[in-house]
Structure 1
Amino acid sequence: METRTRDVAAPARAPVMRRMWVWAAAHAVDDLYQGLVPASVPYFVLERHYSYVAASGLTLAATLGSSLPQPLIGAAVDRMRLPRLPAAGVLLAGAGFGLAGPAGPYAVVWVSLLLSGLGAAVFHPAAGRAARQAAGDSVTGMSVFAAGGSVGFFLAPVLATPVLVAWGVGATVLFLPPAVLAAFVLVRMARQDEARAPATAGGRDRWGPFAVLTMISVVRSAVFAAVATFIGLYWVRHLGGSQVMAGTALACFLGGGVAGTIAGGRLADRIGLVRTVRVGAVLVVPMLAGLRLAPGVFSALPFAVLAGLALNVPFAVIVRLGQDYLPGRPGTAAGVTLGLSVSVGGLLAPAFGLAADARGTQTVFTLVCFLPVAAWALGLFLRSPGIGQGQGKNA
């Protein structure tokens, strides 16, 4: 009887997993625009002569738009059926970034990127909730969805470098079509889903551990935002590399992040969620130190990959663990761990910009070597959500 049940369940899971891959692809498109912001910052600096503080202000605009509304949007997703919300979010994210380059005044560029960030805020809670329903108890499955976002970040410099080198920042409008296509696919899928009522898992919400987890996510995202924003300028201004090498360095960092997201899900299925969060905080320190101490444009590239890998090991795990701490509010949990805390970390970008203006971009990479220690210390206070919520190996 048990064998027959498994045989029936496997085909039944296949359509669900296919839907999760659709969500992962949509996540890649949405986060492409978040990745295009730091990828385009060096070109705004070099073409329009922005200061480091002004450059980090562009990252601040995108993170403000994507951070502040997310708890409210997550709560709305948990209470109401909003199947078209992800489509609207990805379309707004693409339109905001697409209009930033042709805009002339700095204030208009800033507002455009703010709207692009708002699009990400609209997308993440509903998409994170849907992905959790598709993934079930598999952390590896959830990591596939999270990796979609990492793929978007990875593709950003790969696509931005040749386009912006050839045509300048005014060419950002060329990145609008993927948002239109993704929105079209999501709207069609939403029409198919309107007759389905979303299920909400039972269990007691544990806000204390969730708050600790959120602080860990903020630390992780602060390091990520600092490296992603300044790694290109670090390659040009400190290591003496070309703009193409700067884009390559960012692509290596984000490509390592894709691998780290998948590896983190597989590791969590073996050793548990909490342990994986702690391991990621420990692993990233020597990788960042190697990136800072490497003497040349080529010798530093392997450390860019390894730093991105180690930094993203806890990413999908944090999203899944947050939903386990708040089983009755998966949209809210996704909005905070996948969106709010990630974006709040980016709010520290202007502080890193001040350090770069005062002492050079190398100072930024010295500072980020110490921040993961705080994430590891906070990780010591995490506890398993409990076997009763589907977590037998979390401690």
Structure 2
Amino acid sequence: MPRNRSITLLAVGHACVDVYQGAVASLVPFFVAERAYSYAAVSGIVLAASVLSSVVQPVFGVLTDRWPMPWLMPAGTIVGGVGIALSGLSGSYALTLAFVAVSGIGVAAYHPESARVARIASEGSHSAMGWFSLGGTLGFATAPLLVTAVVATGGLRLSPLLVVPALAGSVLCLPVLRALRKTVGAGSGKAVATATDDKAAFVRLSLAVICRSIVFVGLSTFIALYVQQRPGGSEAAGTAALFVLYIGGAVGSVVGGALADRWDRVTVARWSYLVSVPAVAGIVFVPGPAIFVCLALTSAGLYIPFSLQVTLGQDYLPTRVGTAGGITLGLTVSIGGLASPVVGAVADATSLRTALAPLILMPLLSWLLFRTLPEPGTPKAARPTATATGKAGSETGGAPYGEPAGEVGLDPQVVADDRSDL
């Protein structure tokens, strides 16, 4: 299957999964209206979905490092959709919480393995990985439209219709998995990739991603309200601000991959975070319509490194790419979400502007951390070997996870080792 078609299918499938991450918050107004849930109750629902999903993702990453499980992609997609679809059928708060938690587990199961498969299908192209990330961004952003279109017309009893994207997404990933399997020649010798994990660099990368998550989640939570409160603000202006924040992220996902194909990923991410510092300051302090320009720059600056950080994490932990994907896509996001209540508490005690001002430091910290990060080198290829099954073993004794072809100096045969695990 051509690379572009594979990435397109994976990107659309990614959107079909991530729509369920955005669907939970989109259902909150309907839970309050129909079931009279308190703010504390609906906060518990959102927390159950986001935190459980994010914390469980590294666990699935560890599992897929030991036993590659491509079936988790369609299965996780289905579970994510079924959980949200069932959440509107019972008036029981406990059941609603359970269904939303099940959805979060499904989303968590999908991401580490999909990041690995997308890296293989992209053949080392950072632009292709950018398109894959774009799918998830668009899925999250379109969730409010989907939920409103379904639930606003007939109430929560129509929530089973929300399973449709999951059905579509599970089907879309199947031809990609089949195509990647067919690329492997049976019984041929395979090159063994030898690589060493750079755990210190991965920890610094994770801290940078956490800082990025804090500022983006904080802005997405409060920017609509902040714009409404400014002189001349309105509800429409607040909605427009949130839209700009999401669209800028979509653009940044694609631009980041294209830039990294020309320059190295660390350099691109470093400059993106540096540009984000004055952009966030402009959101907080610049008066008038210029805030929308600052929002666009901030969103693009925070999303340009997004897919690059995932592949960097995989390169820093070449023997644990599932774990790397689970952490960069999951655990760090949950920590960013946990910071939002702190921002809210400071806003209640002072003002929203005062509460948002510390966010200016977050991209600065990410920039400082990236200044300490190296661009990962290319793993050395050892002599070809063959096992009884025709598949090379890894130096660590676990499942082989070779780097994609297309990286400078990398033997394309290493990719076949990775594909044979599909």
Matched residue type, 1:91? I
Q: Distance in 2 between matches of 1:328 and 1:150?
A: 28
Q: Which amino acid aligns with 1:324?
A: D
Mapped to 2, the partners of 1:374 and 1:46 lie a distance apart of 41
Could you tell me which of 260, 263, 277 is aligned with 2:269? 277
Q: Using the TM superposition, give the Cα deviation of residue 92 of structure 1 relative to its aligned residue in structure 2, in angstroms.
A: 1.9
Residue 22 of structure 2 is aligned to residue 35 of structure 1: yes
What secondary structure sits across from 1:369 in the alignment?
helix
Deviation at 1:189, TM superposition (A): 4.8
Which deviates more from structure 2 when the two are superposed, residues 101-110 or residues 365-374? 101-110
Cα contact 1:128–1:334 (8 A) shared by 2: yes
Deviation digits for residues 134-174 of structure 1 (CA, Å, limit 9, x no counterpart): 11222112111111111212322444456666666676544
Q: Is the 8 A contact 1:158 1:251 kept in 2?
A: no
Partner of 2:57: 70
CA distance in 1, matches of 2:280, 2:297: 8
Whether 1:383 aligns to 2:370 is no
Q: CA deviation at 1:45?
A: 6.6
Q: CA deviation at 1:178?
A: 0.7
* 1:164–1:348 distance in 2 versus 1, CA, 3 Å: farther
Match of 1:293 in 2: 285
In structure 1, the residue matched to 2:334 is 343
Q: Aligned pair in 2 of structure 1 residues 164, 276: CA closer, same or farther (>3 Å)?
A: farther
- Where do residues 141-160 of structure 1 align in structure 2 (5 Å cutoff)? 141-160=128-147
CA contact (8 A) 2:150 2:162 kept: no
Q: In the TM superposition, what is the alpha-carbon distance from 1:292 to its structure 2 partner?
A: 2.6
- Equivalent position to 2:234, from 234, 241, 247: 241
Q: Select which of 99, 110, 114 maps to 1:123.
A: 110
What is residue 295 of structure 2 aligned with on the other side? Answer: 304
* Contact kept in structure 1, 2:72 and 2:110, CA below 8 Å: yes
Provide, for residues 243-295 of structure 1, a one-character-per-residue CA deviation record: whole Å limited to 9, x for no partner.
x6544432221111011111111222222111122112212222222223355
Larger deviation, residues 189-198 vs 18-27: 189-198
Query: Are 1:63 and 1:347, in contact at CA under 8 Å, matched by a contact in 2?
Result: no
- Structure 2 CA distance for partners of 1:300 and 1:78, relative to 1, 3 Å: same
In structure 1, C-alpha distance between the alignment counterparts of 2:272 and 2:179, rounded to whole Å: 39
Which residues in structure 2 correspond to 1:126-141 (within 5 Å)? 126-141=113-128
Unaligned runs of 5+ in 2: 381-406, 410-422
8 Å Cα contact 2:16-2:168 kept in structure 1: no
Indicate the larger mover: 128-137 or 31-40.
Answer: 31-40
Instruction: Give matches, 1:153-302, under 5 Å.
Output: 153-160=140-147, 172-187=159-174, 189-190=176-177, 201-236=193-228, 241-242=234-235, 245-293=237-285, 295=287, 300-302=291-293
Provide the rounded CA distance (Å) in 1 between the counterparts of 2:94 and 2:343.
Answer: 21
Could you say what secondary structure the match of 2:131 adopts? Answer: helix
Identical counterparts, % of pairs: 37
Any conservation in 1 of the 2:3–2:123 contact (CA below 8 Å)? no
Structure 1: distance between partners of 2:211 and 2:129 = 21
- Cα separation, 2, equivalents of 1:39 and 1:284: 28
Residues 201-220 of structure 1 deviation map (CA, whole Å, 9 limit, x = unaligned)? 54222111111111111121
Among 98, 101, 108, the residue aligned to 1:114: 101
- Mapped to 1, the partners of 2:77 and 2:252 lie a distance apart of 24
Task: Describe the SS at the equivalent of 1:383.
Answer: coil
Q: Aligned to 1:322, which of 297, 313, 323? A: 313
Deviation at 1:388, TM superposition (A): 4.7
Aligned equivalent of 1:367: 358
- Structure-2 separation of matches of 1:155 and 1:57: 23
Q: How does the TM-score come out when normalised to structure 2?
A: 0.77
Distance 2:350 2:31 in 1: 21
Q: Which structure 1 residue ranges, 5 or more long, are not aligned?
A: 1-13
Preserved contact between residue 74 and residue 125 of structure 1 (Cα < 8 Å): yes
State how far apart, in whole Å, the 1-side matches of 2:279 and 2:59 are.
36
Structure 1 residue 121: Cα displacement: 0.8
C-alpha distance in 1 between matches for 2:37 and 2:228 = 15
What amino acid is aligned across from residue 214 of structure 2 in structure 1?
A
Q: CA deviation at 1:322?
A: 1.0
The one-letter code of the counterpart of 2:85 is G
Which residue does 2:9 correspond to in 1? 22
| Total equivalences in the alignment | 376
**TM-score, scaled relative to structure 1:** 0.82
Greater Cα offset, 166-175 or 227-236: 166-175
Cα gap change, 1:214 to 1:254, in 2 (>3 Å): same
Report SS of the residue matched to 1:270: coil
CA RMSD of aligned residues (A): 3.2
Structure 1: which amino acid aligns with 2:334? S
> Which protein has the larger Cα radius of gyration, Structure 1 or Structure 2?
2
Displacement of 1:101 in angstroms is 4.5
Alpha-carbon distance in structure 2 between the residues aligned to 1:138 and 1:186: 19
Say which structure is richer in helix. 1
